[in-house]
A and B are shown apart, each in its own frame.
Chain A
């Protein structure tokens, strides 16, 4: 999907639908299968697998306590796949462009800048985890529960320091509030079809099945 505005819209409505109900999650999964490159547009298997394991563990605990564990698993898996696809497709500068397009040069620029910094931070975290793995391998430390806490602390501290460095850099360069960006977007017909389908899937999944047939009967 070329147009980041339609990508954001699709992900937002489908994520809401998936989070709201299992039917919405099934609809979101169907949309993901039809309109995305599926496994070709996902982050590294290790990252995705660890996130899925966390969701599965929570679902298992929920099911063990008599809660809707299976529904939670399906809904969160759909949200995870949509988020992974959107993250993989997003290019540098798109978040800033969409925010400025939607909210203007002041608030939009601020929100867009924060979003861009957050996205680049995710990529940096991935690189830092790789470096830590190498450091642990060199020191002969086996990855395990005991090593997670100090590693997490190191990761958080480095991220805070990086944010501080970026903030100082912005001040040094004279940044105060807002900025000028002239966003340009390319919208293909596939983007429009996919976004329209996302909205349709989301609306239909939020209705009771009986209402869907009544609605379709009135349309056709």
Chain B
């Protein structure tokens, strides 16, 4: 199972997105500053935008799903329960997972943005597609909810998961790192070898690297463990 990006080129106004690489099974983190092209790449990989040049090929992927950056953009139904049904899911399980069982009959727009994000995240994970793309899955969430999302990502035992995020505090364990800056997508390779090359590494990882530590992965706990090993 893989997604191949070959000489991708997409232009909109003065902005142009370019890149090549292969997303194999596992968890991939595409990081980059705001406005660098992460959401555009997510829409291209999801097939919602057509590339101007090059190709995106899916091999062995039978289902794909994109979590949009803004959760309100997913809403197509007037109640929370119906919104869950619009994803083809049973409301009880999803609402329990999102901790929103008491809000089944409410208008989705009466939920806070964080609650709506939890709802859309629960729906996307319950659908469990082969290719799961998460555009800024940590935005609008508190630290507890961010950690829960990290666990959900890590517990996915099959398929390709691509996270598009500029989050620099709470991150899950990943298999590969990518960077995107000014519209150019660069594959950095597999973790942990790719970590020293990661220019957008969060401050705790940078701190560990600067002190000669070699974290096994990109989480705060990985940086701490690496520092402990270095100090003996």
**Chain A positions 131-189 with a Cβ under 8 Å from a chain B Cβ:** 131-132, 134-141, 147, 150-151, 153-154, 157-158, 161
A157 to B76, CA, bound (A): 11
A147 to B82, CA, bound (A): 12
Chain A interface, DSSP helix/strand/loop, else mixed: helix
Whether B48 contacts A137 by the Cβ 8 Å rule is: yes
A139 and B48 contacting across the interface, CB-CB below 8 Å: no
Is B27 engaged at the interface, CB distance under 8 Å to the other chain?
no
Interface-forming stretch among B50-58, B67-75, B98-106, B148-156? B67-75
Q: B109 is contacted by which of A132, A140, A150, A158 (Cβ under 8 Å)? A: A158
**Does B107 have its Cβ within 8 Å of any Cβ on chain A?**
yes
Tell me how far the C-beta of A153 lies from the nearest C-beta in chain B, rounded to whole angstroms: 5
Check A161–B76 contact: CB distance below 8 A: no
In chain A, what residue has the closest Cβ to B107? Answer: A157
Asked whether B65 lies within 8 Å of A138 as measured between CB atoms, the reply is yes
Give the CA-CA distance A131 to B109 in the complex, in Å: 15
> When each residue 105-117 of chain B gets 1 if its CB lies under 8 Å from chain A and 0 otherwise, what string results?
0010100000000
B66 with A150: CB separation less than 8 A: no
Q: Residue of B at shortest CB range from A134?
A: B48
- Do residues A154 and B75 form an inter-chain contact, with CB atoms below 8 A? yes
Chain B residue nearest to A131 (CB atoms) is B73
B87 touches A139 (CB 8 A): yes
| Residue B11 CB within 8 A of the other chain | no
Chain A residues closer than 8 Å to B78, beta-carbon distance: 150, 153-154, 157
Checking A135, A140, A141 against B68 with a beta-carbon cut-off of 8 angstroms, the contacting residue is A135
- Residues in B neighbouring A151, C-beta threshold 8 A: 76
Among A131, A137, A158: residue with most chain B CB under 10 A: A131
Of all chain A residues, which has the CB nearest B48?
A: A134
CB closest residue in chain B, given A160: B109
The answer to whether B48 touches A136, judged by C-beta atoms less than 8 angstroms apart, is no
Residue of B with least CB distance to A140: B88
Complex Cα–Cα for A147 and B109 (A): 18
Q: Which residues of B contact A136 (CB under 8 A)?
A: 76
> Within residues 27 to 58 of chain B, which ones have a CB less than 8 A from any CB in chain A?
43, 46, 48
**Per-position binary interface string of chain B over residues 75-92, scored 1 when its CB falls under 8 Å from any chain A CB and 0 otherwise:** 111100010001110000
Closest chain A residue to B49, Cβ basis: A134
Bound: A134/B48 CA distance, A: 7
14 chain-A/chain-B pairs, Cβ below 8 angstroms:
A132-B76, A134-B73, A135-B74, A138-B66, A138-B68, A139-B86, A139-B88, A141-B76, A141-B86, A150-B76, A150-B78, A154-B77, A158-B109, A161-B109
Question: Is B82 in contact with A150, judged by CB distance below 8 angstroms?
Answer: yes
**Once bound together, how far apart are the Cα atoms of A185 and B138, in whole Å?**
48
The closest CB in chain B to the CB of A153 belongs to B78
Q: Please determine whether A138 and B46 come into contact, CB atoms closer than 8 angstroms.
A: yes
Residues of B within 8 A of A140 (CB): 88
A157 to B109, CA, bound (A): 8
Q: How far is the CB of B130 from chain A (nearest CB, A)?
A: 14
Beyond A138-B65, A139-B87, whether A150 also contacts B73 by CB under 8 A is no
CA A138 – CA B75 in complex, angstroms?
A: 11
